[in-house]
A = this chain, B = another copy of it.
Amino acid sequence: MPSSPLAPGLPPLAPPSTAAALVIGNELLSGKVEEANVHVLARTLRGLGVELRRVVVILDEIDEIAREVAALSASHDWLFTSGGVGPTHDDVTVEGVAKAFGVRAVEHPLLAKMLRDHYKERCTEGHLRMALVPEGATLEASEEIRWPTIRFKNVWLMPGVPEIFRMKLPVVASHIGTGTRFVSRAVFTKMDEGDLKPLLDSIVENFPDVGVGSYPKWHDTTYRTKLTFDGRDEARVDEARDAFVALLPEGEPQRTE
């Protein structure tokens, strides 16, 4: 096995798994509801060493969902859909995912039984729509979360309701958490981005394996710009941060993390 050019003698880190999110819901694009799942998904994936590379938000339209699911699932290791899995006319995610892969949406016997047991004599055709899955889907569950999550190949069909979305993340994590996690360091300074640019450029050039970010803060008395250093090789991330701090003038930084 070749050694890493950046850390001689050590085997190179395998590239991270990649992920995309497809967020479905007219209510988000009309501004009626504020999206609340992407941020928590991003943080969860980060902790698992999975790189979230793209998020797409679209309307409740089957053909549009099918097109995006086909494209995003082919170009990423994992795809997470959020929303559109309830019983009403605007819940068309299952049909969209099925169409993306050219299979039918069919009633899953276990989900149908769970719905009938739960709603008993009140169970309607509407409730049973929640038993539909793309034909061939698997159900993922854990001891803590009885209600399973639908997975079809590399696509996880997550609910849009934020409280339920969060409840399901541990099940996701138990299946996909195999990579080296990302670490992140930060430096806070009172310098502005225009003055920081040449210093940052030298770090970016010397540490191509570390992601360097620069974020100005509006209205904060303790600092003006936050610099971040990210990667999966902790020693290299620390080295990049320390090299940057060494370039700062006297009186800086305000603090580091």
A interface residues with partner B (beta carbon < 8 Å): 26-35, 38-46, 51-59, 86-90, 119, 122-127, 129-130, 161-164, 182, 184, 193-198, 200-201, 204, 211-216, 218-219, 228, 230
Task: Tell me whether A42 and B31 are in contact in the complex, defined as CB-CB below 8 angstroms, given that A88-B197, A197-B126 are known contacts.
Answer: yes
A54: which B residues are within 8 A, CB to CB?
A: 29, 56-59
A119: which B residues are within 8 A, CB to CB?
A: 194
Interface centre among A86, A122, A201 (most CB of B within 10 A): A86
Query: Are A27 and B216 within 8 A (Cβ)?
Result: no
Of all chain B residues, the one with the shortest Cβ separation from A25 is: B213
A193: which B residues are within 8 A, CB to CB?
A: 86-88, 126
Show 30 A/B contacts (Cβ-Cβ < 8 Å), sorted by A: A27-B215, A29-B42, A30-B184, A30-B230, A31-B39, A31-B42, A31-B43, A32-B184, A33-B215, A34-B39, A35-B35, A53-B59, A55-B57, A87-B194, A87-B197, A88-B197, A89-B200, A89-B201, A123-B194, A124-B195, A124-B197, A124-B198, A126-B196, A126-B197, A129-B194, A130-B194, A161-B216, A161-B218, A163-B219, A164-B218
Kindly report how many copies of this chain are found in the complex they form together.
2
Question: Measured between C-beta atoms, what is the minimum distance from A236 to chain B in Å?
Answer: 17
A195→B87 CA distance, assembly (Å): 9
Query: Are A198 and B56 within 8 A (Cβ)?
Result: no
A53: which B residues are within 8 A, CB to CB?
A: 29, 58-59
Of all chain B residues, the one with the shortest Cβ separation from A86 is: B193
A232→B9 CA distance, assembly (Å): 66
A85→B38 CA distance, assembly (Å): 23
Known interface pairs A55-B57, A88-B197; 5 further A-B residue pairs with C-beta atoms within 8 A, sorted by A's residue number? A29-B52, A56-B57, A87-B193, A90-B213, A125-B197
Choose one: B122, B125, B129, B194; the contact of A127 (CB below 8 Å). B194
A197→B88 CA distance, assembly (Å): 5
Of all chain B residues, the one with the shortest Cβ separation from A29 is: B52
A41→B123 CA distance, assembly (Å): 40
A87→B43 CA distance, assembly (Å): 27
Task: Tell me whether A88 and B125 are in contact in the complex, defined as CB-CB below 8 angstroms, given that A31-B43, A35-B38, A59-B53 are known contacts.
Answer: no
A198: which B residues are within 8 A, CB to CB?
A: 124-126
Query: Are B27 and A228 within 8 A (Cβ)?
Result: yes
A162: which B residues are within 8 A, CB to CB?
A: 218
A182→B127 CA distance, assembly (Å): 31
A39: which B residues are within 8 A, CB to CB?
A: 31, 34-35
